[in-house]
Amino acid sequence: MKKLSRSLENYIEAVFIVSKEYGKCRVTDIQKKLKVSKPSIVNALSILKKKKLLFQEKYGLIYLTESGLKTAKKIYKKHTTILKFLENIFDLRAVKAEKIACDMEHIIDKKIQNKMEKILKNFNPEVKKILYGEKDETFAIKRG
């Protein structure tokens, strides 16, 4: 399946998050999440339907297909990893980190995501000090 555009990735991710948070998803919910007009959403949904990534009851609820769910989960996981990385490693505040993660998730690939996860797993205030050179780790080198 051809890679989704940045825009379509955002829509399918929104469907996933809204469904997760509210237990269901309608056009209006996506509107609140993404702050775009309803026709824009309808248009995006029609493309995602053609790609069999989701379906919708007439004038009603939106559901991800199995393959849509798989796709959305990947994007969402990447999003949360990037978010944590921005907050923890770069000290970004939640709101700003959220915005930047939203853009970065369409760029970062699996390899970088894995590296981020590995770093986060092991991250703590001491590692942070060393990373930013606020602590001399040379003695650690000598003993390492």
- Choose among DNA, a copy of itself, none what residue 126 binds, the Cβ cut-off being 5 to 8 Å by kind: a copy of itself
Token pair recorded at residue 2: 């051809």
Contact 75, 97 (CB under 8 A): no
**Listed ranges 5-13, 14-22, 91-99, 134-142: which one lies at the site for DNA (CB under 7 A):** 5-13
Minimum gap (Å) between residue 103 Cβ and a copy of itself: 4
Of the pair 46, 114, the CB lying nearest DNA is at: 46
Minimum gap (Å) between residue 50 Cβ and a copy of itself: 26
SS3 at position 64: strand
Burial level of 121, CB count in 10 A (0-12/13-18/19+)? Answer: exposed
How far is residue 49's CA from residue 22's CA, in Å, rounded to a whole number? 21
Among 3, 50, 58, 121, binds DNA (CB under 7 A): 58
Contact 124, 90 (CB under 8 A): no
Interaction site with a copy of itself (CB under 8 A): 86, 89-92, 100, 103-104, 107-109, 111-112, 115, 118-119, 121-122, 126-127, 129-133, 135, 137, 139-141, 143-144
